[in-house]
């Protein structure tokens, strides 16, 4: 540990926060828990009011969002994670709808002020640099624009490269806390997810550059790619599923036009194995979210294949991915950044993949979205759509043809009702609809 740093306690550091301030927290596994705890203690002592908290998704507790802090802390997140979902839905916390690519611009443009950035960094190297480790995203922009930057130096934060490397001179206060980073468990795909993974994998060509998130469907896709060659990664995040493919030489980035041979991401969420993998690894570039999620940068690579999920899709191809009716479930995230980027890429494929029904047996392919549901990917943006029943390409297809294709991959239990809805919507005059009714 570098002794030149003057460490102070978390309690001392958070004294810089004033009532009315806007505070940024670094995201996902990098949320600085000791600072959060100290800040909330000040809130409990009635020392603060009207402090605005901003972050993307964070792992671990989010005590500042507790209803008891109403009037003390106001969470306006850029993404609704599971730890703040209930309080956001009940109105105690709020959400700023924003493309993930533009979260950094909120700070850089001044649309959202940043008074205090609370971040977590690696131990400093001999040149006086630290690394943001597992989360660059909008945190770099917060560091650049904040009046005060408080950094927790933690030996468990990996020393990742790219935009993650920042000079210690950018930091005003240092706190020491060696708490291991929160890990996200690997989701084992079930039979339905494995079928979806197989259909998606069939669409991925050798030499493709991949974007996919965390969870059972991405893991199912990755598990089917062992026979592929020269795959690349340009994504907003990756997790454990990519590691076996890197070790096997399947993911090598050799076919990429930009950042050739390198894996590009803006944040990570996975096990300690993933965090160890990026530590001191020049093959991984952790970049500003304004770079990773810029559709025009994404499109510079050929055969970009972006796989994203949805909560509901209607018969015209509108994709709801952020809300269940009027209740916010997650956020816009990077879906449209990558759907658009992949569709602009030479030979690229934008894929929306989801099970055809919920665990309760309700069809996720619907005639019309629930009232109040948000359209994240519009009917103009959608290309490939995949369920466990197959893959269909909706690009360039008319509304009636789309309805036919979507119904063909819906769950058998929902097809008759969807047929009827399509018939009512479009009438019997069109041969696509007639072909349903004559089945």
Catalytic positions, written as ranges? 236
Report the greatest alpha carbon distance in the chain.
80
End-to-end CA distance of the chain: 72
Report how far apart, in Å, the C-alpha atoms of 299 and of each of 118, 205, 206 are: 33, 16, 17
Alpha carbon distance 105, 102 (integer Å): 5
Report how far apart, in Å, the C-alpha atoms of 334 and of each of 57, 81, 161, 282, 291 are: 12, 14, 22, 25, 12
Alpha carbon distance 262, 278 (integer Å): 12
Helix (H, G, I), strand (E, B) or coil at 135: strand
Report how far apart, in Å, the C-alpha atoms of 170 and of each of 128, 131, 166, 403 are: 11, 12, 7, 54
Alpha carbon distance 56, 266 (integer Å): 12
Q: Write down how long the chain is.
A: 439
Block residue for tokens 């004559």: 438
Alpha carbon distance 208, 211 (integer Å): 10
């Amino acid at each position: 540990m570098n002794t030149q740093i003057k460490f102070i306690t978390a309690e001392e550091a958070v004294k810089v926060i004033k009532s009315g301030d806007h505070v940024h927290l670094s995201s996902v596994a990098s949320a600085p828990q000791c600072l959060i705890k100290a800040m909330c203690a000040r809130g409990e002592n009635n020392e603060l009011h009207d402090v605005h908290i901003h972050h993307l998704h964070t792992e671990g507790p989010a005590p500042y969002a507790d209803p008891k802090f109403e009037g003390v802390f106001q969470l306006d997140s850029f993404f609704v994670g599971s730890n703040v979902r209930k309080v956001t839905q009940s109105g105690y916390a709020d959400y700023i709808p924003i493309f993930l690519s533009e979260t950094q611009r909120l700070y850089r443009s001044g649309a959202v002020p940043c008074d205090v950035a609370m971040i977590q960094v690696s131990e400093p190297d001999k040149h006086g640099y630290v690394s943001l480790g597992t989360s660059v995203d909008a945190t770099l922009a917060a560091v650049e624009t904040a009046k005060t930057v408080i950094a927790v130096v933690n030996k468990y934060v990996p020393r990742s490269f790219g935009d993650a490397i920042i000079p210690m001179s950018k930091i005003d206060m240092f706190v020491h806390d060696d708490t291991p980073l929160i890990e996200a468990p690997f989701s084992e795909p079930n039979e339905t997810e494995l079928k979806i993974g197989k259909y998606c994998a069939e669409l991925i060509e050798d030499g493709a550059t991949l974007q996919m998130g965390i969870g059972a469907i991405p893991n199912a896709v990755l598990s089917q790619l062992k026979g592929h060659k020269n795959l690349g990664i340009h994504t907003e995040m990756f997790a454990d599923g990519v590691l076996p493919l890197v070790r096997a030489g399947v993911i090598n980035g050799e076919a990429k036009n930009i950042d050739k041979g390198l894996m590009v991401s803006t944040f990570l969420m996975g096990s300690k194995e993933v965090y160890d993998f990026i530590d001191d690894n020049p093959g991984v570039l952790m970049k500003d979210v304004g770079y990773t999620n810029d559709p025009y940068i994404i499109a510079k690579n050929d055969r970009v294949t972006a796989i994203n999920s949805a909560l509901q899709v209607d018969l015209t191809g509108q994709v709801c991915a952020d809300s269940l009716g009027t209740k916010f479930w997650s956020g816009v995230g990077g879906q449209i950044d990558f759907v658009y980027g992949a569709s602009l890429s030479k030979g690229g494929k934008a894929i929306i993949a989801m099970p055809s029904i919920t665990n309760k047996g309700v069809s996720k392919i619907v005639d019309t979205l629930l009232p109040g549901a948000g359209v994240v990917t519009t009917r103009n943006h959608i290309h490939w759509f995949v369920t466990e029943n197959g893959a269909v390409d909706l690009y360039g297809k008319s509304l009636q043809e789309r309805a036919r294709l979507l119904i063909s991959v819906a769950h058998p239990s929902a097809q008759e009702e969807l047929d009827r809805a399509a018939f009512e919507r479009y009438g019997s005059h069109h041969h696509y609809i007639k072909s349903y009714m004559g089945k």
